[in-house]
Amino acid sequence: MSKQTYRVCFCFQRRFRLAVSEAPEDIKKVFEQYSENGMMSIEGLQRFLVEFQKEDKATREDAQKIIDSVKHFHRKGLNLEAFFKYLFADINPPLASLGVHHDMSAPLSHYFIYTGHNSYLTGNQISSDCSDVPIINALKRGVRVIELDMWPNSSKDDVDVLHGGTLTTPVELLKCLRSIKEYAFVASDYPVILTLEDHLTPNLQAKVAEMVTQTFGDILFSPGSECLKEFPSPESLKKRIIISTKPPKEYLEAKEVKDKEDGSERGKASDEETWGNEVPNLKGSHVADYKNDLDEEDEENADDGDKSQHSLAPEYKNLITIRAAKRKGGFDEWLKVDPDNVRRLSISEQHLEKAALTHGKQIVRFTQPNILRVFPKTIRVDSSNYNPLNGWMHGAQMVAFNMQGHGRSLWLMHGMFKANGGCGYVKKPDFLLNSDELFDPKIKLPVKTTLKVTVYMGEGWYYDFHHTHFDAYSPPDFYTRVGIAGVPADSVMKKTKILEDDWLPCWNEEFEFPLTVPELALLRIEVHEYDMSEKDDFGGQTCLPISELRSGIRAVPLHCRKGVKYNSVKLLMRFEFI
């Protein structure tokens, strides 16, 4: 019999359900420690939960529920097989089930907020369709900031949402607003923020104000015309929708204003030459309009030297809770803190990288009362994303991501907002809110704690993947990558050995991760299948906020590239803080 034929036979003869024979030796030793005569009683299980799993508040009733949940076994205790089955079960997750447990009464600026970028796009930034479907999907996942780019429709009498100057097909603003109202609070009761990118005439701004007011009714929070000295809290805004945009432009009727605007348009045209080199495959007006994405669709840098005698859209202006600021001058000007006027500043990922080199502590100071939004650089036409940790460690609340994409950066975003009950708001660590001693992201700090991770084994691929998905003629060759995403000093990835020809890989490997800023750290976990001749195959991933990671032996569900949990694939791991 050839090796290939032997492997095929082996593949279909082997058992793929977990059996006690597959239990790692560590599991058997733990069972023996808390059991007598081959049975772990209710009292033994409770002691295991308190002492080994560090579940200090575990009761006899909790232990009994576990025993009851493991079907077809003795009601008064667990044998080794039942104990092993429990450890691998969904009722033994890696994150604590704490619900919303952060203080939600602080100003909005004290939270990281789950933020989308160009939330209406179904695919790439240039030619995909605009739709309310990605908005609905984002809200279902718990995203709390939805971005809408508003443009006049073709007949100039209504408002469309689209990525201006590209080939993206529009969707009606009203359709987006209605879907937002329907799905805003299916995943979380905490406020949904609409960041509106405005390319409208005053009469269409007034129409938007009417649409927004009529669609949302009582759930719309309207602060009035006064500037805010402090943002309201997420708790005070539960089940409310709030608007964030730049106040509408104000106009003089004098002819000299028009002359100045004409000069401004000529200045924009000259910018196209620079951008033609930076954005490949975009020409002419597409370059001019697509350039605006880097500059917040030209809203942030617009010249506002003329003061008006009247505002043409007061209804629209009065709806704005979080006012977007215009960027003038350099970083020092951008990051000035006005004690009487809080605001939102939007900058690109490149601007953040540059500012972080020389103004890191100033950024942290700015983000204590104000909101900083960071958005992807323009050349990410494929809707890819960037490392969100650079924004978070500088206190940026709105690290805006293309939620319709996938990849490691988005996995980190998913991981961060698993915290605090998945409500879309995560309270910033105290060190980012301390105004007396500003946090310096560039300084390497001493180690606060060390996370020890044991990767025992994995299961479920045989059920969630086609049997020839990884290799046509043999079982897969799995390995696990495990590491930390956090401040630069903490960020690292390690990997287990490759286990050949095994649908139930058992690695039994330990890794240690010293953490200087555990409050911002995420545990990264990926499984891949080794391929000698081609790129390794993907076998699942997850990211977990270390601030809510449970000690002990845990079943870790894995997700697909898009962040959807597999039905069966999971790892058995142990987490210890030493």
Tens digits of per-residue pLDDT, 464-522?
Answer: 988 888 888 888 999 999 999 999 999 999 999 999 999 999 999 999 999 999 999 99
**How far is Cα 341 from Cα 412, in angstroms, rounded to an integer?**
32
For residue 196, give the amino acid letter.
Answer: L
Alpha-carbon distances of 187 from 103, 182, 423, rounded to whole Å:
19, 12, 7
For residue 208, give the amino acid letter.
Answer: V
pLDDT for res 309: 32
**How far is Cα 403 from Cα 119, in angstroms, rounded to an integer?**
7
Q: Convert 106-127 to b/e letters by CB count within 10 Å (16 or more is b).
A: bbbbbbbbbbbbbbbbbbbbbe
pLDDT for res 74: 63
**How far is Cα 565 from Cα 541, in angstroms, rounded to an integer?**
9
- Residue 22 predicted with pLDDT over 80: no
One fold for both 1-15+446-578 and 19-87?
Answer: no
Is residue 469 part of the annotated active site? The answer reads: no
- Residue 289 predicted with pLDDT over 50: no
**How far is Cα 438 from Cα 360, in angstroms, rounded to an integer?**
10
Are the C-beta atoms of 513 and 31 separated by less than 8 Å?
Answer: no
Q: Residue 313's pLDDT band (boundaries 50, 70, 90)?
A: low
For residue 539, give the amino acid letter.
Answer: G
**Dihedral Cα 90, 91, 96, 100, nearest 10 deg:** 90
- Residue 31 predicted with pLDDT over 80: yes
Query: What CATH number should be reported for the domain whose range is 1-15+446-578?
Result: 2.60.40.150
**How far is Cα 182 from Cα 210, in angstroms, rounded to an integer?**
18
pLDDT tens digits, residue range 557-574?
Answer: 999 999 999 999 999 999
Phi first, then psi: what are they for 222, rounded to 5°? -120, 110
Query: Of residues 190 and 314, which shows the higher confidence score?
Result: 190
Burial bucket for residue 512 (CB in 10 Å: 0-12, 13-18, 19+): exposed
- Residue 458 predicted with pLDDT over 70: yes
Within 8 A by CB and 6+ apart from 296, the residues are 197, 324, 327, 346, 375
pLDDT for res 9: 40
- Residue 272 predicted with pLDDT over 90: no
Q: Which of 338, 380, 325 is nearest to 163 (CA)?
A: 380
For the chain, what is the mean pLDDT? 85
pLDDT for res 317: 85
- Residue 281 predicted with pLDDT over 70: no
Phi first, then psi: what are they for 577, rounded to 5°? -100, 120
Q: What CATH architecture is 19-87?
A: Orthogonal Bundle (1.10)
| Residue reference for tokens 């002359």 | 259
Beta-strand relationship, 449-459 and 565-577: antiparallel
Are the C-beta atoms of 39 and 88 separated by less than 8 Å?
Answer: no
Which of the residues 102, 117, 406, 414 is marked catalytic?
117
pLDDT for res 302: 37
What are the sequence ranges of the domains in the chain? 1-15+446-578, 19-87, 108-247+284-304+320-432
Percent of the chain with pLDDT over 90: 66
Phi first, then psi: what are they for 407, rounded to 5°? 135, 175
- Residue 71 predicted with pLDDT over 90: no
Alpha-carbon distances of 213 from 61, 318, 452, rounded to whole Å:
50, 11, 52
Beta-strand relationship, 192-198 and 145-152: parallel
pLDDT for res 256: 41
First to last CA, the chain: 51
Structure tokens at 87: 């450890």
**How far is Cα 385 from Cα 126, in angstroms, rounded to an integer?**
15
Are the C-beta atoms of 128 and 168 separated by less than 8 Å?
Answer: yes
pLDDT for res 532: 83
- Residue 311 predicted with pLDDT over 60: no
Q: Convert 373-408 to b/e letters by CB count within 10 Å (16 or more is b).
A: bbbbebbbbebbbbebbbbbbbbbbbbbbbbbbbee
Q: Residue 456's pLDDT band (boundaries 50, 70, 90)?
A: very high
**How far is Cα 480 from Cα 507, in angstroms, rounded to an integer?**
9
Q: SS3 for 528?
A: strand
Alpha-carbon distances of 475 from 16, 286, 537, 545, rounded to whole Å:
11, 50, 13, 32
Are the C-beta atoms of 494 and 482 separated by less than 8 Å?
Answer: yes
pLDDT for res 8: 40
The total of other beta-carbon atoms located within 10 Å of residue 222's CB is 17
**How far is Cα 298 from Cα 268, in angstroms, rounded to an integer?**
10
The whole-angstrom distance between residue 300's C-alpha and the CA centroid of its chain comes to 25
The yes/no answer on whether domain 108-247+284-304+320-432 falls in CATH 3.40.50.300 is no
The mean-pLDDT minimum among 101-110, 132-141, 317-326, 506-515 falls in 317-326
Query: Of residues 493 and 17, which shows the higher confidence score?
Result: 493
Which of the residues 110, 163, 286, 406 is marked catalytic?
163
Beta-strand relationship, 522-529 and 371-375: unpaired
Is residue 72 part of the annotated active site? The answer reads: no
pLDDT for res 122: 93
Query: Of residues 4 and 333, which shows the higher confidence score?
Result: 333
